[in-house]
Structure 1
Amino acid sequence: MPESEPDQPRPDPSHPPDPALAAEQQHLADSRAALARMRAHTAGLTAVGGDRVSTEHLKQVLWRRMQALEDDPTVPLFFGRLDYDPALGAERAERLYIGRRHVTGEAGGEPLVIDWRAPVSLPFYRATATEPMTVALRRRFGFSTGRLTAYEDEDLAHGEGTAPSEGPGTASEILAAEIERPRTGPMRDIVATIQPEQDSIVRADLATSICVQGAPGTGKTAVGLHRAAYLLYAYREQLSRSGVLVVGPNDSFLSYIGDVLPALGEIDATQATVASMITKATGAEVRGLDEVGAALVKGDARMAEVIRRAVWDGVREPTEPLVVPRGAHQWRVPTYLAAEIVAELRGRGIRYAAARDMLPQRLAHQVLLRMEAAGDSPDDRVQNAVARSKPVKSWVDAVWPALDPAKVILRLLTEPAFLATHAEGVLDPDEQRMIMMRKPARSARAARWSLADVVLIDEALDQLHRTPSLGHVILDEAQDLSAMQLRAVGRRASTGSVTVLGDLAQATTPWATRSWAESLQHLGQSGAHVEELVAGFRVPAAVIEFAARLLPTIAPSLTPPYAIRRSRGDLVLREGRPEDELVTSARLALDREGSIGVIVPDARLDWARRVLDGAGIGYGVLGEQTDPLDEEVFRTRLDLVPASIAKGLEFDHVVVVEPAAVVAGEADTVTGLRRLYVCLTRAVTSLQVVHQEPLPVQLAA
């Protein structure tokens, strides 16, 4: 459903219409008409290529172009205007409207709207009165259901008007209203409200890898998605070949962010969870669950060395010469020479399967040398025939056998002697016993693999075949990934760059890495620099200050976040019978505008269902959809949210049920308090805390 627009400053109805506002409304109408013409022109094109493949490619190009030109009348085509002034150093005087996509007029192809990612749009986000960037005036527009309702001007040439760089709480009313606008449904884009410190991350060049440590409400996820959109615009040709991947923590999160890139005209980025990404690569299905101790060992970076040894253990020392009958002759490659070839290939640093593929040709070359020495004149065709011959294939299979990555991992997890051989000096005996399968499977296909197991299979697969690298990977909620999971993501960007997003205070898995430096090392991106975002644009002060009481316990090294919103928001603690207080809180939230998230301990999800059903309150349940792009997700006013999947989500109004039970549901107190910190900071307008059990002492203070 369309989101309602914020209440914007409107012209006084007792006065005549503002001619400037009317002119801007006409420009909006002209821009919409031009966009419709652009889409109609694209629709009228016919894809004709030189062959069937190129024709299908052209059809896909035209389809993507049609998608990018689709107009949503409830969303403004532009949200700002820049007036460049030669007196300030501009090449010429021109007026540019800044929007979500480029719109071209009929006459002379003059742009009616400039894409927010274009270089000339940069001053909209960065210019200040002290550094106007050749812009004399910056105008922001207010809209309601797609219609222009108001505008605000900043006279950058003379330092007059509002100053967004000082923060929306003290500057632009339109900017502040847009940031604080209630939402219904999934995440929306923030192109109209990107702040300078966010914009510097968004517009970093493709070769730059960045890690964003972002407190709740600082917009780190939105920054990452807009960085993807910017890179796809600025490096389109390069990334159309190499690709962009967005990795999120779970399917509910992917549903939540799924509309952002399409709204910005970008549909080419792939979205996945770590589990779906690795399952697709390995073909192994996640059907099991590890105990915490086993998962910790399997997620440890030391497992990479164990797997490397196990894979390369497949190569045998040659014990027999290679003999190739051909015609009336038998050509012989001595054992010592064949062993030298094998040793040389092992030492080249290439993947196991690639080296194995090279071995037959290397052996065949030795046979050809012997043929030439005997007076023959063999050519490349003869060498290829020898390389494909049965004697060569049989010799290679015996010395350098083909391996299946899943079978290698199955042996490690089911054969104690095999694991002990390759884990010697790496894992101690207790750790080895911990990761052995309790119920060994008869085959890799029948195994009940856990997610940690499938990550190990992916590691083994990379030892066999190099993992294809993408141009850029956006990794969100990275603080919760194990070292081996980080290695798996890093392989997908081995020749590209990454944007890592997360918050160490929200690390809620036992295997989470301890610092961003450690995480970046496992990703293979040690050179990435860390940016810290602490200005909260979404979470109001009353909520963030309450949740920040937990920081000295869960993340004492982090800078406490602060809110810059005009409203402090609402915080209510409700102590009493949980059933009654939950119903009261839900009904109070339903009386207000915006989305509602009722966050409950995972173990109490069924209890919450019964309470809401008994009260006749409708709701959805997050985490139960099978399709991460299911359009019905986040379409209800009120959603029940298990605490374990709340991370990364936002709701206008949040009800957190029994904080003590949220904490108790984790392996240890610190992890539980981090989980609670996540749950408390999902609110962007109001937070109600329902409890009968005493609050954790950090909050009770």
Structure 2
Amino acid sequence: MPAQDVEDTDAEIAAERAYLRRSRTALDRMRQNVLSLDASAAGGDPVSEQVLRFELGKRAEALRDDPTTALFFGRLDHHEERLYVGRRHVHDDDGEPLVIDWRAPMSRPFYRASTADPMGLALRRRFGYSSGELTALEDEDFTAPAESRILIDEIERPRVGPMRDIVATIQPEQDDIVRADADHTLCVQGAPGTGKTAVGLHRVAYLLYAHRERMRRGGVLVIGPSASFLDYIRGVLPALGEIDVRQRTLEGLLEAVPVRVRDEPAAARTKGDARMAEVLRRAIWSHLREPGEALVLPRGTRRWRVPAYEIAEMAEELRERGVRYGAGRDLLSHRIAHAILVRIESAGEACDDRTHEAVRRTRPVKAMVDLAWPALDPVRVVMRLLSDAGFLAEAADGLLDAAEQAALLWAKPAKGPKSARWSRADAVLVDEAADLINRTPSLGHVVLDEAQDLSAMECRAIGRRCETGSATVLGDIAQGTTPWAVGDWATLLRHLGKPDAERTVLDRGYRVPRQIIDFASRLLPSIAPDLKPPTSVRSAPGSLDMRPVTDLDAEVARACREALAREGSVGLIAADATVPALLALLSEEGPEHVPLAEGFAGSRLVVTPATQAKGLEFDQVIVVEPAAIVDAEAGPAADGRSPGLRRLYVVLTRAVSQLTVLHARDLPATLR
């Protein structure tokens, strides 16, 4: 580069750094202005003051600057206007924008402009950063196609700790998903490294920006496959200024019973089958009883009588209307009270709403409702179903065969809900029963990640929570590892209650190198033959290291030390049963490490059980004994394919820069 160009570039960087300082100062003033507001000065009652104080606190937290991240990462030069694109909106004391939010419509050319369609831009500038300091810039004037080195460097940059946002590197096909309409439910089939999780989280941030009041009223929920996964993604939304989004595992969402045990595969498959919804419906409604005698209500000097057959007809009519069990019970008391009031009015006595409510609350009417339509506890209904063979046989007649019923029954009936040994699938059944009794409230939007692993009943549980809202469903059929996984998106979306969801495919990877993804894709004909193998924009010769070994322990320790000598995070992934021995080995050999359960902040080397690797990403991955990972999985899955090979596919696609495979046993045939 000529010297004059260097001087010009240095001058440009100095000017942009000055603008960055000005923007950070303005952001700090915005936050200080919020902190200076006095909630008590607004007047109103103490509750209103407390709510306002809470909202101001959240606003101030959302405006907190992180000096280690880029406040803005792009600049858009129109012919008459210049805009800086960043993580959040920043304005000066006069209200003039210094940085526009990446979600604003004006920022879209940063992600979509091309030589074919510059979208009115004269120039697009990208900024490179190091620990929050602006260190480089790069201009594109759209006169010819150009590869952005800053963009590639940001995608490939080593990352230690939890997942980071991708606002500076969102690609056009990802941007389409992020900015999809709030009313649309999207299903994204995303291959490893395509950024589907990040895209789902950024869609949440976009919806909270574009439809904030609607989303805040309804609520937004992110559901992940494990606590480790939620720990991994926890910082993405706060980094984008969104701190009010719940993130839960399915177990954390369904907390009516404590999950203590894991079902055998046969029991889990049956409990997760969609037929269980009808079994539970029958079990719930079997509690209706026809009264044996009439209801007699003394009132003053008169006694009012409603025949038993009439009450039975009321109950049957309500049941045929399709009301929830709990709502029907409440309505029955109103119907009985109405029938009595008709008789009272026919006798010449005037009645009003107060009379109706007084009659409905009388002891005889309450007793009759309890007899004909008893109150139910969903926990006890499911407990009885799983403990009482006769009750189960009645509810499952014609739906489940004898072997399936036997698989459902607990070996040792529980004495009460607290002593029961509940499984995750049992918790889902309790949730279904609870919804049959009283409707589950719906949220504004639900993001469901790693959805391919869910059973039909789990899909129904999540679908109830976005029945009147929308959802973003993320996953990869090739990574379905549970024996009860549904196996195809059409079936899953039907169980979710979103059969018309728009489906899209992300099959172009950005983080996982071509050498690694091509190696892992050798498994696809065996685990997901209908999927097209993914591609990668990155080529990294030498990123795949296959090591047949004789002394596995020695090679594990050596590979860990070699990985730690390079930049970035390191994941040591092995079959779950071998993890304790690996932790003991590393403690003895000395490489600093941390088990996955302790999070991502303790060490660059994270020892990860294969079953917990899904959704995670490491710069370098060391896979220990692939054959053991395959053998550890129960099988086959509902579609007849090996969950073990699918688990191995997950493990092999966690690496961003380097994959090292250590094996003393033969590799699975499809990988040799």
Q: Which amino acid aligns with 1:122?
A: R
Pick from 196, 200, 203: which aligns with 2:176?
A: 200
Kept in 2: contact 1:256–1:634 (CA 8 A): no
* CA shift for structure 1 position 123: 1.1
* CA shift for structure 1 position 137: 1.5
Partner residue, 1:397? 370
* CA shift for structure 1 position 306: 0.2
Partner residue, 2:593? 619
* CA shift for structure 1 position 13: 11
Q: How does 1:263-302 map to 2 (within 5 A)?
A: 263-279=239-255, 282=256, 284-302=257-275
Deviates more, 1:257-266 or 1:285-294: 285-294
SS at match of 2:556: helix
* CA shift for structure 1 position 132: 1.8
> 1:672 and 1:268 mapped to 2: Cα distance?
37
* CA shift for structure 1 position 293: 0.5
> 1:450 and 1:182 mapped to 2: Cα distance?
39
Q: Which amino acid aligns with 2:81?
A: E
The alignment status of 1:228 with 2:228, answered yes or no, reads no
Kept in 1: contact 2:508–2:536 (CA 8 A): yes
* CA shift for structure 1 position 188: 0.1
* CA shift for structure 1 position 161: 5.8
How many pairs does the alignment contain? Answer: 664
* CA shift for structure 1 position 350: 1.6
Pick from 67, 77, 82: which aligns with 1:95?
A: 82
The alignment status of 1:454 with 2:441, answered yes or no, reads no
Partner residue, 1:78? 72
Partner residue, 1:135? 121
SS at match of 2:254: helix
> 2:625 and 2:491 mapped to 1: Cα distance?
34
Seen in structure 2, the aligned counterparts of structure 1 residues 128 and 14 have a Cα distance that, compared at 3 Å, is closer
Seen in structure 2, the aligned counterparts of structure 1 residues 568 and 476 have a Cα distance that, compared at 3 Å, is farther
SS at match of 1:160: coil
Pick from 559, 571, 579: which aligns with 1:605?
A: 579
* CA shift for structure 1 position 573: 1.3
Deviates more, 1:632-641 or 1:265-274: 632-641
Using structure 1 for the length normalisation, give the TM-score.
0.93
> 1:569 and 1:38 mapped to 2: Cα distance?
49
The alignment status of 1:22 with 2:22, answered yes or no, reads no
Seen in structure 2, the aligned counterparts of structure 1 residues 17 and 207 have a Cα distance that, compared at 3 Å, is closer
> 1:335 and 1:14 mapped to 2: Cα distance?
95
SS at match of 1:19: helix
Query: Could you list the per-position Cα deviations for residues 100-131 of structure 1 after superposition, in whole angstroms to 9, with x for gaps in the alignment?
Result: 00001123x11000000011111111111222
Kept in 2: contact 1:11–1:17 (CA 8 A): no
Query: Could you list the per-position Cα deviations for residues 645-693 of structure 1 after superposition, in whole angstroms to 9, with x for gaps in the alignment?
Result: 0000000010000001001101237211111111111000001111111
Partner residue, 1:160? 144
Pick from 49, 52, 55: which aligns with 1:58?
A: 52
Pick from 338, 358, 366: which aligns with 2:339?
A: 366
> 2:423 and 2:6 mapped to 1: Cα distance?
68
The alignment status of 1:677 with 2:661, answered yes or no, reads no
Pick from 638, 658, 674: which aligns with 2:625?
A: 658
* CA shift for structure 1 position 315: 1.2
* CA shift for structure 1 position 53: 2.1
* CA shift for structure 1 position 320: 2.2
Q: How does 1:51-450 map to 2 (within 5 A)?
A: 51-85=45-79, 93-107=80-94, 109-156=95-142, 159-160=143-144, 162=146, 171-279=147-255, 282=256, 284-450=257-423
Seen in structure 2, the aligned counterparts of structure 1 residues 360 and 460 have a Cα distance that, compared at 3 Å, is same
Query: Could you list the per-position Cα deviations for residues 237-278 of structure 1 after superposition, in whole angstroms to 9, with x for gaps in the alignment?
Result: 011110000000000000000000000000111000011101
Kept in 1: contact 2:514–2:539 (CA 8 A): no
Q: Which amino acid aligns with 1:653?
A: Q
> 2:48 and 2:630 mapped to 1: Cα distance?
57
> 2:539 and 2:419 mapped to 1: Cα distance?
58
In the alignment, structure 1 segments of 5+ residues that lack a partner are 1-8, 86-92, 163-170, 626-631
* CA shift for structure 1 position 642: 0.4
Partner residue, 1:557? 530
SS at match of 2:371: helix
> 1:620 and 1:526 mapped to 2: Cα distance?
43
Seen in structure 2, the aligned counterparts of structure 1 residues 161 and 130 have a Cα distance that, compared at 3 Å, is closer
> 1:310 and 1:519 mapped to 2: Cα distance?
25
Using structure 2 for the length normalisation, give the TM-score.
0.97
> 1:355 and 1:445 mapped to 2: Cα distance?
28
Partner residue, 2:668? 696
> 2:568 and 2:547 mapped to 1: Cα distance?
21
Seen in structure 2, the aligned counterparts of structure 1 residues 17 and 176 have a Cα distance that, compared at 3 Å, is closer
Kept in 1: contact 2:123–2:141 (CA 8 A): yes
SS at match of 1:204: coil
* CA shift for structure 1 position 160: 3.4
> 2:163 and 2:542 mapped to 1: Cα distance?
20
Q: Which amino acid aligns with 2:554?
A: D
Seen in structure 2, the aligned counterparts of structure 1 residues 248 and 660 have a Cα distance that, compared at 3 Å, is same
SS at match of 1:377: coil
Q: How does 1:435-514 map to 2 (within 5 A)?
A: 435-514=408-487
RMSD: 1.6
> 1:205 and 1:17 mapped to 2: Cα distance?
41
Kept in 2: contact 1:101–1:264 (CA 8 A): yes
Seen in structure 2, the aligned counterparts of structure 1 residues 481 and 11 have a Cα distance that, compared at 3 Å, is farther
Pick from 629, 634, 643: which aligns with 2:610?
A: 643
> 2:666 and 2:476 mapped to 1: Cα distance?
27
Seen in structure 2, the aligned counterparts of structure 1 residues 525 and 51 have a Cα distance that, compared at 3 Å, is same
Query: Could you list the per-position Cα deviations for residues 619-655 of structure 1 after superposition, in whole angstroms to 9, with x for gaps in the alignment?
Result: 1101x35xxxxxx534411010000100000000100
Identity among equivalent pairs (%): 57
Query: Could you list the per-position Cα deviations for residues 515-536 of structure 1 after superposition, in whole angstroms to 9, with x for gaps in the alignment?
Result: 0001101100001021111111
Partner residue, 2:36? 44
* CA shift for structure 1 position 289: 1.8
SS at match of 1:18: helix
SS at match of 2:59: helix
> 1:230 and 1:241 mapped to 2: Cα distance?
16
> 1:44 and 1:372 mapped to 2: Cα distance?
64
Q: Which amino acid aligns with 1:225?
A: L
Q: Which amino acid aligns with 1:648?
A: G
Deviates more, 1:581-590 or 1:19-28: 19-28
Partner residue, 2:509? 536
Q: Which amino acid aligns with 1:262?
A: P
SS at match of 1:287: strand
Q: Which amino acid aligns with 2:128?
A: G
In the alignment, structure 2 segments of 5+ residues that lack a partner are 637-641
> 1:10 and 1:297 mapped to 2: Cα distance?
71
Kept in 2: contact 1:278–1:454 (CA 8 A): yes
* CA shift for structure 1 position 17: 5.6
Kept in 2: contact 1:541–1:569 (CA 8 A): no
